[in-house]
Chain A
Amino acid sequence: MKENPYQPMLAIIENVKEEVGGQRAIKTFRMKFKDKEIQKNFTFQPGQCAMVSLLGKGECMFAISSSPTKKDYIEVSVMRHGKVTKALHESEIGDVVGVRGPYGNNFDVKDWKGKNIVFIGGGIGQAPLRCLINYILDNKKNYGKLDVIYGARTSEDLCFKEEFEELEKRKDINVHLSIDVKEDNWKKYVGFVPDNLLKVKPSPKNTIAVTCGPPIMIKFVIQNLEKLGFNEDQIFTTLEMRMKCGIGKCGRCNIGNLYVCKDGPVFSYKQLKKLQGER
């Protein structure tokens, strides 16, 4: 039978790590394909996404948040919002889900060789960036200075807390965390991510800026990046649209004439400027 692109492959949830509790809960799920063969040749690039299905509930598109250099599993970080994510948050280790992908284009890591990179993330937007950061750290010699600017509403809402502690220890990457509202035992920056960006003031020379997060944050981050002298080829972002098929056929995730699931989710600011269409 011709290969059915809508049919997912079965994967087992190996580990569930709770990143953020409370109302806007976020969990990272580590998944391994049941069939070793598929796991071995499931290769993807940083920034690509996968469709995760909960059989009987539905499926959602998530950015793969583990680095492609980690061959024997894939991770997705998911905030609890709708029917499928609620069911995913209720699943435990050993449950079987469906995974299909990888879909969409990716961060152009080859083209960025030898450049400094600034990662500007907000809230759950950090998931695709985490994949990119780990990938670049595993090939650190090809890249220059690395800056991570990441913020969330409260310290409780910050994702990947342990990993950031490791990153802060490393010399070859500087981490600038921030939260929106003052909290007593919080020593680092307090304020929105775009303002934190202005404080860090990364130099635009030979630098690539990658930003992911809520649309309102991306808008202001891009404005501030332009203030700092970044031109439109140096700014990349990922966009978020409702997706159903993930392979450019069901027609709903278009911005202008591009489909976010096929021609995105990674877009350069140059592309965005040319694109008409509601984001």
Chain B
Amino acid sequence: MMNSYILLKEDLPKFIKELIDKYKVFAPVDDNDVTLFKEIKNPKEMNLKYNNSKLPPKSLLFCQTETLFKFTPGTKGKIQSPGIDNGKKAVFGIRPCDAKSFSIIDPVFKEDFEDPFYLSKRENLLLVGLSCTNPYSNCFCTSFKDSPASSKYVDILLTDIGNKYFVEVNGDKGKQIVKSKLFKPAAKTDEDKKNEVEKKAKDQIIRYQKTDGIAEKLDKIFENHFWKEVADKCLRCGACTYLCPTCHCFDIQDEATMTDGARVRIWDTCMIPEYTLQASGYNPRPERMNRMRNRVYHKYNYYPKNLGVIACVGCGRCIDNCPVNIDIIDVVNRAGEVKP
């Protein structure tokens, strides 16, 4: 109970203003009824009536297009390293599942070769979470023993309990924020109200993905015809990978004019053939079945083997946006029951 506070709803704009003075604040903004995390200059631009943003806040850390270094093209060979953006940033309104996705893709950018672009942004990003009070049609974060109101992966978490927010602090970054006088210590009744809101939200999630022992089950059915059946209807459109908070694949391309140029890192999708097509024309993953199977295995088999965690947070974006209704909950549940 020691690190929980209360923030009155009408104090929220003041709190956001305080953040804006110290940080570059990103918050959910309505852009032709598509919610995206955008920089805001004043609290009025925010729109808090959203289930979750279309594009995950991962785009604040692992930008869709990022300059790796600049150069003068051709064979004279002049390279300038880029400035690393260590500006202080804060994201308001991040959902617990998206915050968890950061902790899942952190090791990819930290192991062996440290990726300065991602890591500098990660250290300088303050996560102000907002609990989900009414989960969306395809949310299933409870399948991973998480809760729509868990403060495990954010610096501070706000939960809407009527006319005020119940604030939980997690880690010392959060402690700095809560020093401001807008926050008053929370009472016991506030905490019960929060648990009640949390329970209500949890009960609304009825979709469930059976993931216990999924890695071992998948080991046995790699060659199974099941994957052909699942992938037959896939349009290889790639929307699922572009919207997934735990997808970290990227492409590296050179862009140049006659006088200057840069090597740029861009999001990539494993669902298109060009992803693994070799210059000789050989493609180890020629068919949609190979690619679909690789996407599911990467998240539910290879990631657990390499980094010990399932690379899915149950945000449901891939289910919402798949034009042919390939439902990852259904695919994984059915994969679990396939007889090898």
Complex alpha-carbon distance, A167 and B178, angstroms: 74
Once bound together, how far apart are the Cα atoms of A126 and B306, in whole Å?
Answer: 32
* A1 to B116 CA separation, bound complex (whole angstroms): 8
Instruction: Please pick, from B111, B116, B256, the residue contacting A56 in the complex, using a CB distance under 8 A.
Output: B256
A6 and B119: CB pair below 8 A? no
Pick from B248, B250, B254, B280: contact of A58, CB below 8 A.
B254
A254 close to chain B: CB less than 8 A: yes
Judging by beta carbons under 8 Å apart, are A98 and B77 in contact? yes
Q: A237 CB to closest chain B CB, in angstroms?
A: 15
Q: Is chain A's interface secondary structure helix, strand, loop, or mixed overall?
A: loop
Chain B residues, Cβ within 8 Å of A173: none
* A114 within 8 A of partner (CB): no
Contact across chains for A257 and B116 when beta carbons are under 8 A apart: no
- Judging by beta carbons under 8 Å apart, are A248 and B278 in contact? no
A279 within 8 A of B: yes
Q: Smallest CB–CB gap between B102 and chain A, Å?
A: 15
Q: Closest residue to A247 on the B side, CB-wise?
A: B113
Query: Are A257 and B302 closer than 8 Å at their CB atoms?
Result: yes
**Which chain A residues border B248 with CB–CB below 8 Å?**
249, 251
Taking the complex as formed, is A241 at the interface, i.e. its CB lies under 8 A from any CB of chain B?
A: yes
* Contact-residue size bin, chain A (C-beta under 8 Å from the other chain): 35 or more
Given A252-B249, A252-B275, A7–B79 Cβ distance below 8 Å? yes
Segment touching A, from B9-17, B64-72, B168-176, B202-210: B64-72
Enumerate chain B residues within 8 angstroms of A81, measured Cβ to Cβ: 279-280
Q: In which size bucket is the chain B interface?
A: 35 or more
Select from chain B the residue with minimum beta-carbon distance to A51: B252
Provide the residues of chain A in CB contact with B284, threshold 8 Å: 241, 255, 278-279
> With A1-B84, A91-B75 known to touch, is A262 a contact of B112 (CB < 8 Å)?
yes
Minimal Cβ-Cβ distance residue in B for A215: B282
B77 touching A10, Cβ below 8 Å: yes
Residues of B within 8 A of A98 (CB): 71, 77, 79
Question: What is the bound-complex CA distance between A251 and B112, given in angstroms?
Answer: 15
- The CA-CA distance from A240 to B277 in the complex, in Å, is 11
- Smallest CB gap from A248: residue in B: B112
Q: Scan residues 37-94 of chain B and give those whose CB is less than 8 A from a CB of chain A.
A: 68-69, 71-77, 79, 81-84
For this complex, 25 residue pairs linking A to B, each with C-beta atoms less than 8 Å apart, are A1-B83, A1-B84, A1-B116, A2-B84, A2-B114, A2-B116, A4-B68, A5-B114, A5-B115, A6-B252, A53-B254, A55-B74, A56-B73, A56-B254, A85-B279, A240-B278, A242-B275, A244-B268, A245-B252, A249-B109, A257-B301, A262-B112, A276-B222, A277-B297, A278-B285
Binding site for B on A (CB under 8 A): 1-8, 10, 34, 53-59, 81-82, 85, 91, 95-98, 215, 240-242, 244-245, 247-252, 254-257, 262, 276-279
State the 9 A-B residue pairs at the shortest beta-carbon distance, nearest first: A96-B77, A56-B73, A257-B302, A95-B75, A82-B279, A81-B279, A251-B249, A2-B116, A5-B113
Beyond the given pairs A251-B248, A252-B276, 14 more chain A to chain B contacts, judged by CB atoms under 8 angstroms and listed by A's residue number, are A1-B81, A3-B114, A6-B68, A6-B265, A10-B77, A59-B254, A81-B280, A242-B277, A244-B252, A250-B249, A251-B268, A252-B270, A276-B222, A278-B290
